[in-house]
Amino acid sequence: MLPRLTLAAILSCLAAPLLHAEEPAWMGTLERISTGVVSIRVDSTRSFDTEWNASSQATGFVVDAERGLILTNRHVVTPGPVVAEAVFLNSEEVTLTPVYRDPVHDFGFFRYDPKDLHYIKPAELPLAPGAAVVGREIRVVGNDAGEKLSILAGTLARLDRDAPDYGLGEYNDFNTFYIQAASSTSGGSSGSPVIDIAGNVVALNAGANGAAATSFFLPLDRVQRALKLIRDGQPITRGTLQAVFVHKAYDELRRLGLSEPSEARVREARPKETGMLVVNEVVPQSPADGKLQPGDILLEVDGQLITAFVPLAEILDGSVGDTVAVELERGGEHVTARVPVTDLHSITPHAYLEFGGGVVNDLSYQQSRHYNRPISGVYVADPGYMLSRAGIPRDALITEIDGTRVRNIDDLAKALSGLADGDRATLRYAVMNDPRNTLVHSVQMDRTWFPARRCVRDDETGTWPCTDLPQAARTAEREHGSTEFPTYSDKRINKIVPSLVMVNFDLPYAISGVSDRHYYGTGLVVDAGRGYVLVDRNTVPVAMGDVSITFAGSLEVKGRVEYVHPLHNLAIVSYDPQAIGDTPVKSAEFTVRQPVPGDRVWVVGLKADHQLVHQATVVASVDPLNLPLSRTLRFRDSNLEVISLVNDPINPDGVLIDERGRVAGSWSSFGYQTDNDSGQVSLGIGSELISEFVNQVRSGEPIHSLEAELAYTPLFEAREYGVSEEWLDTLEDHNPRGRRALRVTRTVAASSADKLLRSGDILLAVEGRPVSSYRELERAVQEPEVEATVWRNGKALDLTVETAVLDGTGIERAVCWAGALLQKPHRAMATQRGIDPSGVYVAYFSYGSPATRYGLYAGRRIVAVDGHPTENLQEFIDAVSGKQDRASVRLKTITWNGAVEVITLKLDNQYWPAYEIRRTEDGWRRVDIG
């Protein structure tokens, strides 16, 4: 026999105060029913219809202990794919399988296997719809605000409240009354039983208005019917006229045209009723369209007088596929019609397409009401990478592809199956806030970064098995045309124009601290023979992504990332010179003279619409760059002097040219982050550094780095630090105008400099030669090791420091596992925060995944799996390969500030299979990890 849980044991589990729980009758009731109330952990694994992918907690309660049936809300079971677990009062955990989610009303059922419970015999809570009466004292028992179990008191105030309105595009219940009470429920209490003192469930908690401390409960009439059908193994038929009804009081009904005879008849037959049902919405092109109209007052259905929602639902649920006779009053006129009854399940999506990182499903009855459109077309639940790249948002309704009508996801799947990776198609769509107007955008098919598949709900298993979409054979690259550059009256502008292009960069995954997906900026052709284009790292922040290059606002070609400067705000992308035909592109000409304050220069760049802008200005100053540390540990430039202008142009990035049209520097966008915000600032980088960078990329020579960040210190301040007069004289003679020294501010973790140099050291010389500028130092350390002379604690020290060899490949592989994106720790971590670059870095996590559920958040490093060290990605892959679905994994993690935490995580290989993204000679490739 199972041990009986005492009231004291129950009360010890309660995480919130019990209101009035000291009353003896309530104490006995709560003790009797509490074992049947469960906390539900819900992972909505995909955005679907009205719901986002998310991880949350809710409440449910056992309504059939023998069959393992748990009642909760529809928005907990969700209309889409879900993974859920229930935790009972004694902390036993069971896996839940979704059994039913109502198409309209906010209730649904999960099932668990009763054999999985070993230490508790849960109470079965009886449903009592008729026990809900105004003035009845109730208790809401559930997982309120994420607590394990709480009990809130209240009194039923209304039984005929309108269903709560959660807003445009959100899930909204309709064609039902709601019950109202003041009980102040909050997040996590969704699905809680509302019980009376006898322990009967009189309603289902569904929502709340926090501002008014008001709770909204769903009546149980239709819930009770559904439960009986499930127990009997029968399908739950649900019928609809594709019309929304609202309840109106008699005073308003008269204004709508209710005749006196009709009112008298209804009042006599229903003396306790205070109103009747009125048509509020009719779905366009539905069977009821033209037969029912908004404002119609409902009198009878199939000869039965109807004044409330439940009798109407009973008739419609029993008439699916048939027609019903409807009698109405319209503006005082008597109207009759026969209206077909639609199967509600047939207009509720049960499948989705997943492609390009996004999710789409058939337009649902729920959403067609918001659009006021027929139930036809494909709804964008999550645009993901591919659709957002084309500017198509969530809540878009796709109606055509390449001129062919799209009625459902089958139509769209057929069209997408005819597209190979990189092929383009034209989508026509509408948006919810402007449903009558349509927009047209060109999209580029993605088969590289994300899978393309169709997933269908299996009601036997509760899962959504997927099948890959067929892929068309890749066609030969289409021939690109040629274009001409416009001419201008200014000879300087005409000289630089053939070297300017627009670069677009799209990032499929948030990686290396970079979370934004889409970037653009002006590029400078620096080697027309190789197709090299210089950009800043606020245009191409990382090496992983898709590049397109546009010439003269007319000709767009595909590009690739060649090199990302590891130290400075520069990158080089490339295009195939054969792809642009006879387009007269020219390599930019650089001037060797570096800009100084007072020089007259011209800023030339391209706006987002590809229009050229130019502006004459004057160099204001050349100053050391000082950007704040990045909140997300993304790249941040340092050890650099940048050019400021007297009157900065507002719009473009681009280049600085001299009076002869030669490039004197770039006009680059520098991204930065503060604690609470992100921004960008435009500053110039001199042509000397740019020319050196281009030559390094051409030659393949590595970049050596001292791996220390430094700041300029005036010589008078160096004297205060105790630097000897001899060294001060040497530095002053070396740079009589600057009169400064270099002071170490931080070192890169795990580098030679990190072991030898200290913050506050004054760097005097490298290889015996004095250095007092960033560029001097950068050029002086281009050897495997150097002898650095520093002033520390009153004396000069000679230190042999190994330099780091850096390349421009950046991230070359990443792993998607359990919904987390994992990568090698990137350099910015070690540079900005001194984080040891060992282990596996969590760059991003997807909502609704195990990573979210178990707290594997971005910014952590995984250093061990089940006790096995994981010093790098390959060791991590080896450690997790072969683990089965729902297997538990123990992860040792380290946070950004060095705190060690152990996380246990349960895998979900169904919705979050592991795969690797790797850069190859032929580009990026996605490979499944077995």
Just list the catalytic residues. Answer: 75, 106, 189
What tokens appear for 786 in the block? 């150097």
804, with CB counted inside 10 A (0-12, 13-18, 19+), is buried
User: Residue 758 CB: number of other CB atoms within 10 A?
Assistant: 13
User: Exposed e or buried b for every residue in 145-155, given b needs 16+ CB within 10 A?
Assistant: eebbbbbbbbe
The type of residue at 206 is A
CA distance 776 to 766: 10
The phi and psi torsions of 347 (rounded to 5 degrees) equal -110, 20
CA 736 to chain centre: 54
Q: Residue 253: CB partners within 8 Å, gap ≥ 6?
A: 263, 275, 276, 278, 297
DSSP 694: H
Helical (H) or strand (E) element with 699: helix 687-699
In 189-344, the DSSP E strands lie at 193-195, 201-209, 214-218, 239-240, 243-249, 275-282, 297-301, 304-305, 323-330, 333-340, 342-343
Q: How many Cβ atoms sit within 10 Å of the Cβ of residue 264?
A: 10
User: What DSSP letter does each residue of 815-859 carry, written as one string?
Assistant: EEETTEEEEPPPHHHHHHH-----SEEEEEE-TTSHHHHTT--TT
Please identify which residue in the block is written with the tokens 């089965």.
884
Tokens of 406: 């799209």
Host H or E run for residue 734: helix 725-734
Q: Where are the alpha helices (DSSP H) in 318-434?
A: 365-371, 384-389, 409-417
From the list 77, 70, 48, 75, the residue with the least C-alpha distance to 125 is 70
DSSP letter for 681, please.
E
Taking the C-alpha atoms of residue 144 and residue 185, their distance in angstroms, rounded to an integer, is 6
Amino acid in the structure at residue 182:
A
* Closest listed residue to residue 165, CA positions, set 174, 175, 156, 176: 174
End-to-end C-alpha distance for the chain, whole angstroms: 44
DSSP codes of every residue in 760-789: TPEEEEETTEE--SHHHHHHHT-SSEEEEE
The CA distances from residue 122 to 25, 87, 680, in Å, are 20, 11, 58
CB 827 within 8 A of CB 846: no
Q: What is the Cα–Cα distance from 790 to 742, expressed in whole angstroms?
A: 10
- 664: Cβ–Cβ under 8 A, 6 or more apart, which residues? 590, 591, 593, 594, 595, 599, 601, 656, 657, 658, 686, 687
CA 336-338-341 angle, to 5 degrees, is 135
The answer to whether 293 and 329 have CB atoms below 8 angstroms apart is no
Structure tokens at 38: 């469960």
Are 394 and 83 spatial neighbours (Cβ–Cβ below 8 Å)?
no
Q: How far apart are CA 883 and CA 365, in angstroms?
A: 40
- Spatial CB neighbours of 22, under 8 Å, sequence gap ≥ 6: none
Contact (Cβ atoms closer than 8 angstroms) between residue 596 and residue 622: yes
